[in-house]
Amino acid sequence: MKLIVRTGVAAVVIAGALAAAVVPASAAVSAENAPVAAGVHAVVANPQRISAAAYNQARSILAQAGSQTAAKSHPIHGQKDVPVGYGTSLLAAARDEFRRTDRNLPAKDKKSDMSIPHYNAIHDAARVMGIDRW
């Protein structure tokens, strides 16, 4: 009896391995053909470079929202674009600053550990620069 069970299990494992080995490439799941659920946004890779105008506009948005880091940073001039790291650093510094500033707010008034106006300013600045992850 044990021999029959072991033989059956081995046959199933071998059949599964063979089936996986001969699956056509067209049957492979890719991110391009994946269904999109409602309310979920796709994560797009950050650009390699961002325009100086977009950086300066994002810097202005963050400074107006109260970021001292953004206010003290220098505007970009004399260059048409800058590495995306400039923008991601600006966003991360403002995010951390806003979280420190807003740490004592009640939870109902916060989103992602910062006030809702600060959260909106960070995301507006990111959108202007085309940055999705920072």
Instruction: Report how far residue 123's alpha carbon sits from residue 126's, in angstroms, rounded to the nearest whole number.
Output: 5
Structure tokens at 104: 């004592």
What single-letter amino acid sits at 73? S
Q: Rounded to the nearest 5°, which phi and psi values hold at 82?
A: -135, 160
Instruction: State how far the Cα of 90 lies from the Cα of 82, in Å rounded to an integer.
Output: 12
* pLDDT value for 4: 65
CA distance 52 to 96: 23
* pTM for the predicted model, two decimal places: 0.67
Residue pLDDT, tens place only, 90-120: 999 999 999 999 999 999 999 999 999 999 9
Within the chain, what is the greatest distance between any pair of CA atoms? 82
The pLDDT tens digits for 40-91 are: 556 668 889 999 999 999 999 999 999 999 999 999 999 999 999 999 999 9
The DSSP code for 93 is: H
> Which ranges in the chain belong to alpha helices (H)?
2-21, 52-64, 68-72, 84-101, 116-129
How many angstroms separate the CA atoms of 50 and 41, rounded? Answer: 22
